[in-house]
Amino acid sequence: MSSFYVTTPIYYVNDKPHIGHLYTTVVADVMARFQRFMGQEVRFLTGTDEHGQNIEKVARRDGVRPIEVADRNAPVFRGLWERFGVSNDDFIRTTEERHKRGVEEIIRRIEAARDLYLAAHEGWYCASCEAFYPEKDLVDGKCPDHGLPAEWQREENVFFRLSRYGPRLLDLYEKGVDGKPFVYPESRLNEVKSFVSLGLKDLSVSRTSIQWGIPFPGYPGHVVYVWLDALTNYLSALGFGSESSALFDKFWPPSAHAVHLVGKDILRFHAIYWPAFLMSAGLPVPSQVVSHGWWLRDQKKISKSVGNVVRPDNLISDFGIDPLRWHLLADMTFGQDASFSDEAFLARYNADLANGVGNTLSRSVRMASDAFSGKTPSIRCDVNEVRTAAEEAVDAWIAAFSGHRFQDGMDAIRRLVSAIDGYLASREPWKRVKTEGVTPAIHRIHYSAMEGLRIAAVMLAPIVPKTSAEMLKRLGLPAPDTVTRKDLRWGLLPREASLPSTSPLFPRADIKAYFAEKVTKKEPPVEEEKKAPEAPAAVEPAAVEPAAVEPAAPESEPKISIEDFMKLDLRVGEVVAAEKVEKSKKLMKMSIRVGEHVRTVVGGIATAYKPEDLIGRKLVIVANLLPAKLMGIESNGMVLAASLPGTGEPSLLAVDPAVPSGTKVK
């Protein structure tokens, strides 16, 4: 058995958990559960980041000590994860003594490598990011991520010689670790590579302007920069810096495969600073940094500082934990951003859970129960289409989940469920039983369908553990403690086992009634939370009217012929470079690869996208437009984007990242 270490970022305790935090934690939980399922020895870590300026500020505002803020909020995170069935093995708080020891040890090693020096430092600082920004990256003097004014800070800091590590980092990005790329997905790896190849500056790793932090060993009056402090949690939770190295030896490379799961906002810290700190300290780097996109609301990252938070509480009370876990995984293409909406949640719930898995399971179990007096069939069947579909699905699911392609893995489960549905529809056992009676053929048909569903339930275990266990129970199996890879073998459905009586696993959601009720409830808009910092955790997303159904195309609109439409040459392009056009609020200059060629396209999307969001992104362009000059730049084509109602903000058309650039769109 080999070992696998998976971590979430540690969450700032100046905020209560929202759906973005939940997403990261659920994805890490799915990874941990999948690896355990596959037989790996797993350590899964999460925790809270409790030092730094943000927490100090909140404490000052509330007239309490920073540790009280941390003590108030850390249990909220811990409690939510418990409620969500998150299977973490440890929960670290950076105010714990074990963590302080780890930080002191890594600094001792970095100091021994002569990578620290003292120097004056000044610049624009975003307190929410806890990071300095070059002036050119600010948008109207505000942080490009949080939209909050940056503050000019000047102080004497301890610096880390980050600039030394550029070549070793580039080598790491080039070679990867154990045959896998150091950063996943590839678009994010490219982003990190291009950042580092432009040259790295040394990094200030202490603060004198705040007190709430770990005292910097050897530099009185300085506290450790919150990111050097926070990143070290991944080691201190393994006992690094303590007398016992057992966990560290087992779960840190080279003995283990160590994966840090992070949002794209903190990729730079994990893929550049962290490996550089480790290299300096003479320690192995993690195996992989896996970076996901953001949940957005109204085109903006969901975050407390933006004030558009979505708290999970109401969706949980309406639909339960598993539907939310399923939705989070199913509706965000891993690595890209996704918009959170109640409609998307409900549509997904009805399509996959109520209709898909739920309906097929109840039909199959009900029919078997009727035919065999409340028991599973007594004759098995080993050669049938369901078995073929199950074996195909299992292979596809394992390959996809091993490579963090969760949506592909979920597709494999969906395919199996619909194959079972199709199989039952074509065999019509309910008709045959009336004319032929309960023949061996009827046994075989039901066995095949139920065994297929058992395998689907086993594949569901890492994603929706409670649903998986409930399905297995309904299929006549004893409530399982855990399921493992061995349970994917065909033929394990017990024969003549009692079937419990069944109510629908996922009752269909009445979408109209759901929204009607929300509208009558007249909840506060999501913005409320921004105005009232002490608002309760259960702020629901704003009510959204279901879209009115329109006829296909209003009669008055002029129509074009297919020939006219075909004159448009629409192509998939990949953005390889992007920069804002100076002196323009809206325009973005992009280098877009279309097949073999790279062309310049200028588009009015800079109010909604930052250059780094675009690099590596696939989009659709009109490739045969006549060139046009925009702010003196020749644009060869146009990117396609929806224009959002109300604001007119652009929202780029999404393309499956697997589609090669240059592919024709028609």
Q: What are the residue numbers of the active site?
A: 18, 21, 126, 129, 143, 146, 301, 304
Task: Please name the residue that has the structure tokens 């028991």.
Answer: 375
Residue among 156, 265, 470, 649 that touches ligand MSP (CB under 6 A) = 265
Give the total of residues touching ligand MSP (CB under 6 A).
Answer: 21
Report the length, in residues, of the chain. Answer: 666
Verify cis geometry, omega within 30 degrees of 0, for the bond prior to 254.
Answer: yes
Residue nearest to ligand MSP (CB): 20
When asked if residue 334 is in the footprint of ligand MSP (CB under 6 A), the reply is no
- Least distance (Å) from ligand MSP to the CB of residue 646? 21
Site string for ligand MSP, 303-322 (x = CB under 6 A): x-------------------
Site string for ligand MSP, 37-76 (x = CB under 6 A): ------------x---------------------------
For ligand MSP, the closer of residues 8 and 280 by Cβ is 8
**Strands 295-297 vs 338-339: parallel, antiparallel or unpaired:** parallel
For ligand MSP, the closer of residues 204 and 360 by Cβ is 204
Q: What are the structure tokens assigned to 463, written together?
A: 């994603």
Specify the 3-state DSSP secondary structure of 121.
strand
For ligand MSP, the closer of residues 21 and 404 by Cβ is 21
Residue among 45, 69, 92, 266 that touches ligand MSP (CB under 6 A) = 266
CA–CA dist 180, 444 (Å, integer): 44
Verify cis geometry, omega within 30 degrees of 0, for the bond prior to 185.
Answer: yes
Residue among 5, 12, 182, 397 that touches ligand MSP (CB under 6 A) = 12
What does each C-alpha distance from 466 to 78, 458, 462, 483, 498 come to in angstroms?
19, 11, 10, 12, 20
Residue among 93, 99, 146, 301 that touches ligand MSP (CB under 6 A) = 301
For ligand MSP, the closer of residues 231 and 615 by Cβ is 231
72 touches 117 (CB < 8 A): no
For ligand MSP, the closer of residues 42 and 266 by Cβ is 266
Residue among 3, 4, 5, 9 that touches ligand MSP (CB under 6 A) = 9
Task: Please name the residue that has the structure tokens 């719930």.
Answer: 349
Q: What is the DSSP letter of 215?
A: B
When asked if residue 302 is in the footprint of ligand MSP (CB under 6 A), the reply is yes
When asked if residue 23 is in the footprint of ligand MSP (CB under 6 A), the reply is yes
Residue among 3, 5, 16, 20 that touches ligand MSP (CB under 6 A) = 20
- Least distance (Å) from ligand MSP to the CB of residue 276? 14
Q: What are the structure tokens assigned to 369, written together?
A: 């129960």
**Strands 41-49 vs 3-7: parallel, antiparallel or unpaired:** parallel
**Strands 650-652 vs 641-643: parallel, antiparallel or unpaired:** antiparallel
Interacting span for ligand MSP (CB under 6 A) from 21-29, 65-73, 354-362, 443-451: 21-29
CA–CA dist 222, 228 (Å, integer): 13
CA–CA dist 600, 591 (Å, integer): 5
498 touches 513 (CB < 8 A): no
For ligand MSP, the closer of residues 231 and 353 by Cβ is 231
Interacting span for ligand MSP (CB under 6 A) from 112-120, 133-141, 228-236, 577-585: 228-236
CA–CA dist 271, 388 (Å, integer): 42
- Least distance (Å) from ligand MSP to the CB of residue 78? 14
Cα-Cα end-to-end distance for the chain: 49
Interacting span for ligand MSP (CB under 6 A) from 19-27, 74-82, 341-349, 482-490: 19-27
Residue 597 CA, chain-centre distance (Å), reads: 32
HSE-up (13 A, CA, CB side) for residue 614: 30
When asked if residue 446 is in the footprint of ligand MSP (CB under 6 A), the reply is no
Interacting span for ligand MSP (CB under 6 A) from 6-14, 174-182, 239-247, 655-663: 6-14
Strand partners, 571: 621, 664
CA–CA dist 615, 462 (Å, integer): 32
Footprint on this chain of ligand MSP (rule: CB under 6 A): 9-12, 20-21, 23-24, 49, 230-231, 233, 262-263, 265-266, 294-295, 301-303
